[in-house]
Structure formats: C-alpha cells, structure tokens
Amino acid sequence: MRLMTSDYTELAASGRGYVTDLLRPDRTYDLLEGYGFAVTRSPSGAVSAKDAHREMAAVRADFGLGEPYAPLLYRDRGAPPVTEVTRKAGSDHPAFHTGAAQGWHTDGLLEDIGTIRTTLLYCVRPARGGGRTFLLNAGRVFEELRQRDPEAAGVLLRGTILGRRSTIPGVVREAVGPVFAALGDGHYATRYGEGQVERWYPKDAAEQRCLARALRYFRARRDDPDVRIDLLLQSGQCLIFRNDVLAHGREYFTDDPRCPRLLLRSLHTDAPGCAS
Ligand SMILES: [Fe+2]
C-alpha cells in the first residue's frame, strides 16, 4: 500500500471520490492501493436489490474476495451474510436500521484488529437527504502522532487499551484490544473509533493523560480533507474500502418513506487482490 504518502485532497476536489467504471480491476486496484478505497459503478445505473446482490458477487469475484464473513456479533442472530442497511421498524440494531449519524468506527466490533480487511457497501437507493459515508486515513494520522508525540501514540498500541462493547439491547459482549497494530510494511491496522461502543482502559493517571492527548490529536485532524473524504453513494455504486486501515462513519439521513435508503453491506477477511 502507498496509503501513508497519499492524501484525499485531489480526489475530493470535485466534492466526490473518484468513481471507476464497473469492474475495471486495473484502475480500481490502483485506487485501493493508493487511497484505501474505490467506488465502482453499475453499467445499468439504478438497480434493484436483486441486481445489487448479483453485482456484489461480480465485484467479489473480480477482486479476489471470498464469501462474505459473518461477524461474531451477529453469528448467533441469524443475520444474512450480505446485510441490508436500511430503516426497519421494530429492529433493535442501534446503527443499521436508523437514520442517525454513526460515529467513527471500524467494522467488526468483536473481531481482533485487522480481521475484517474489506467492506463492500452497495447503494441500491440513496436517502432523500444526507447519508454520506466518511472515510478517514487513520493510519496516517497515527503516523503523524507517532512522530510528534511518541508517548501518546504508544498508548494506542497497548493491547488492552480499548474495549468495544455491543450496544444491542440484551447482548452483553465486549472485545478488548489495541487501537493500532503495525502491519510490518510501514502501515498500521486500526480499530480506531469514537462513538457509543468504546470503553477506554488506561492503566494509570499518566497513561490517561497520554490517551487524552492522542484522542485530542485525532479530533483535531480528522476533518482535514487530506486524510478524510466524504462520499454520497448513488444508486448502482459500490464502495470498496480497506476496513483494516481506514475508519469510517455515516452522516445523519432523512428518507422518503415510499423508497427508503437501502445499502447492502458485506464484510471480508481478504483484501482486494491478496487473498489470505
Ligand atoms: Fe460500519
């Protein structure tokens, strides 16, 4: 990956990320390699949910992604491997089935850091208003912090600093791990987030101060378009992103009740082009 030396400013100049033609692995690999994400486009434009499932299967095949991974949190709940992200009356899921904004996070609440390497988000229907997806080059922000304040950065590498706890009613589960882990190629896997699920476990007052500095640094940097891009997916567009190295979030949205926003999501333990 070249992610550490790239930035999103050029891509965001038009207010949008770069959209490739559907299934052009050469160009899309380049984008994934350089920026950690790419958006492909359906040849047909607007699509049905059935078309979307078929096109997601084609994206998986073209980019060497295996079958969708069922995350530990949902494994006992009969969730399908490709999940519908839409407003759903009566659902207890705190993030999938509401129009509320979703804070920074990585997918795979209970998984070890770096387990879910790729997320696919396919837009069947956008919202009436809002619903942008935000991506943050968290590894680059971490590298900056490491150079400026190694003590603060060091706390984020400690293996028991961050717990992530389920907010699904009645599901009491938490996984503890580091916020960043070196991948050995100069990049870092991440499970950075600041939302409803995080529990921080500094071991003493000194570490508490370091942690506060580290989180403050992320808050100050994460709106910079060099390291963050906001995407408003259109019908027939599929966002592919490296969930192990980018954090993401979602803007609040409003729906037309007759045709509510519908995204399909699948998670993968492979990275595009490098099956594990
Ligand atoms: Fe997510």
pLDDT digits (tens, 9 = 90+) for 188-198: 999 999 988 99
> What's the 249 CA to ligand 1 centre distance in angstroms?
7
Mean pLDDT in residue range 114-140: 94
Dihedral over Cα of 8, 13, 17, 23: its sign: negative
Cα 91 to ligand 1 centroid, rounded to whole Å: 17
CA of 146 to the centre of ligand 1 (A): 26
Decide yes or no: CATH 3.60.130.10 for domain 3-268: yes
Percent of the chain with pLDDT over 90: 57
Q: Give the DSSP H/E element, type plus range, for residue 84.
A: strand 83-85
Q: The tokens 């795979």 sit on which residue? A: 108
Provide φ and ψ at 37, rounded to 5°.
Answer: -155, 165
How far is Cα 138 from Cα 188, in angstroms, rounded to an integer?
Answer: 9
User: How does residue 276 score in pLDDT terms, banded at 50, 70 and 90?
Assistant: very low
**SS3 state at 24:** coil
| Residue 51 CA, ligand 1 centroid: distance in Å | 22
Residue 164 is predicted with a pLDDT of 96
CA dist., res. 61 & res. 67, Å (int): 9
Confidence of residue 174 (pLDDT cuts 50, 70, 90): very high
Report how far ligand 1's centroid is from the alpha carbon of 204 (Å). 31
What is the full DSSP assignment across 214-275?
Answer: HHHHHHHHTT-TTTEEEE-PPTTEEEEEETTT-EEEE--EE--TTS--EEEEEEESSBTTB-
If residue 207 lies in a helix (H) or strand (E), which one and from where to where?
A: helix 205-221
Mean pLDDT of the chain: 87
From the CA of 121, how far away is ligand 1's center (Å)?
Answer: 9
> Do the Cβ atoms of 118 and 189 come closer than 8 Å?
no
CA of 206 to the centre of ligand 1 (A): 32
Residue 156 above 50 pLDDT?
A: yes
Domain residue limits, the chain: 3-268
Expressed in angstroms and rounded, the spacing between residue 13 Cα and the centre of ligand 1 is: 25
pLDDT for the residue 62: 87
